[in-house]
Amino acid sequence: MTDRLPSPVLDPNRDVGTERASATPARKHAHLKVAGAAQKSAVVPQTLSALERWMLGAIADAPPVDSEIDAILTPGPRLSAKDRLAVYQFGYRARLVECLADDYPIVARTLGEGAFEELAAEYIERHPSTAPSLNAFGRHMESFCRESGSRALGANSEFFAELARLEWALVETIHAEGAPPFDFQKLAKVPVEAWATARLVPSKTVRVLRFEYPVNAFFQARREDKEPAIPAESPTELAIYRVGFRIWRMDLTPAMTRVLEALLAEQPIGDALATIAVDESDPAALGEAERSVMVWFREWVEGGFFAGVTLAE
């Protein structure tokens, strides 16, 4: 048993979060383009409902033909009706691309501005917002990376799917409901004979992630403004959690992951510890395991991984 407690890493850029709701997009999007007009005959909507549907289509889908725009919108002092409409067409995509870039800064930085905007534009078309808040708008990015076949991802769709999963877990952790701090001393007061059957109550502010790639190392390097190559497959595990206002990432070993996953699934503590699968005939290994587990427990409890403990009846 040689697992040591890895040092958790604070996510400084996630210290305060990002703006969501706002009247106007701030980010410049040189690569964003407004699609060309579809060839169709002009139809002037006669009701408010029809007009709104026309305008939504004009902004978010295919731009109408010029004659239709000129029949519905007036020109301004300096711009044609078509150019006035383009302000909204641009703003729609820019706002949502900005939101995705806020949620997926490392995906965006790794892909580069042009490729990320291409990916985001495809995402927006596949998953348009249907909610009043943008807080959950980006939630489909992992599956989108994996399944969309987007040209922007090249041959690395699986890697980017995992990177997106990590970044979305950070967002989820920010928005997860916190629990009052769980006192480690309370755990110490659990009678020895009750330990094996007691269960820990998981906090909503912790996530355990298993990856096929060393995603966290890549993420951290990018955070430090390094430019690592896309890594080869190599399974890794990670815990993401919030303590107070702060978000942390902690690399896990396979044994830690098994124990933690079992505890977060509210399995009895004894069953969770059994997943370590240490050679019980080796006293040295057993002793090392016990010491490691106590260190892990303290870190996890202090990290707010658990909201309480329940004893078996």
Partner 1 sequence: MNRFSLPSLGIGLGLRTTHYSHILEHRPNVDWFEILSENYMQTKGRPLTFLDKIAEMYPIAMHGVSLSIGSTDPLDRQYLSELKELRDRTQARWVSDHLCWTGVAGKNTHDLLPLPYTEESLKHVAARVRTVQDILGAPLALENPSTYVEFAGSTMTEWEFLSELAREADCALLVDVNNIFVSSYNHGFDPMDYVRALPFDRIVQMHVAGHTNHGTHIVDTHIGPVLEPVWQLLGEVYRRASAPSVLLEWDADIPSFEETHREALRAREFISEEAA
Measured from the CB atom, is 15 or 183 closer to partner 1?
15
* Min separation Cβ 56 and partner 1, Å: 5
CA-based nearest residue to 253, from 231, 276, 233:
276
* Min separation Cβ 39 and partner 1, Å: 22
Q: Summarize as ranges the residues that interact with partner 1 (CB under 8 A).
A: 15-24, 26, 47-49, 51-53, 55-56, 59-60, 71-74, 76-79, 81, 83-85, 87-88, 91-92, 95-96, 99, 128-136, 173-178, 204-205, 242, 245
User: Both tokens of residue 95?
Assistant: 């706002």
CA-based nearest residue to 202, from 313, 312, 301:
301
Measured from the CB atom, is 48 or 232 closer to partner 1?
48
Asked if residue 199 lies in contact with residue 237, where contact means CB atoms within 8 angstroms, the answer is no
* Min separation Cβ 235 and partner 1, Å: 29
User: Both tokens of residue 203?
Assistant: 């906090």
Distance CA 256, CA 235 (A): 14
* Min separation Cβ 79 and partner 1, Å: 5
Measured from the CB atom, is 170 or 256 closer to partner 1?
170
* Min separation Cβ 132 and partner 1, Å: 4
Residues 6+ apart with CB under 8 A from 201: 266, 306, 307, 308, 309, 310
Measured from the CB atom, is 79 or 230 closer to partner 1?
79
Convert 40-71 to b/e letters by CB count within 10 Å (16 or more is b).
eeeeeeeeeeeeeebbeebbbeebbbeebbee
Measured from the CB atom, is 72 or 262 closer to partner 1?
72
Measured from the CB atom, is 180 or 191 closer to partner 1?
180
* Min separation Cβ 42 and partner 1, Å: 12
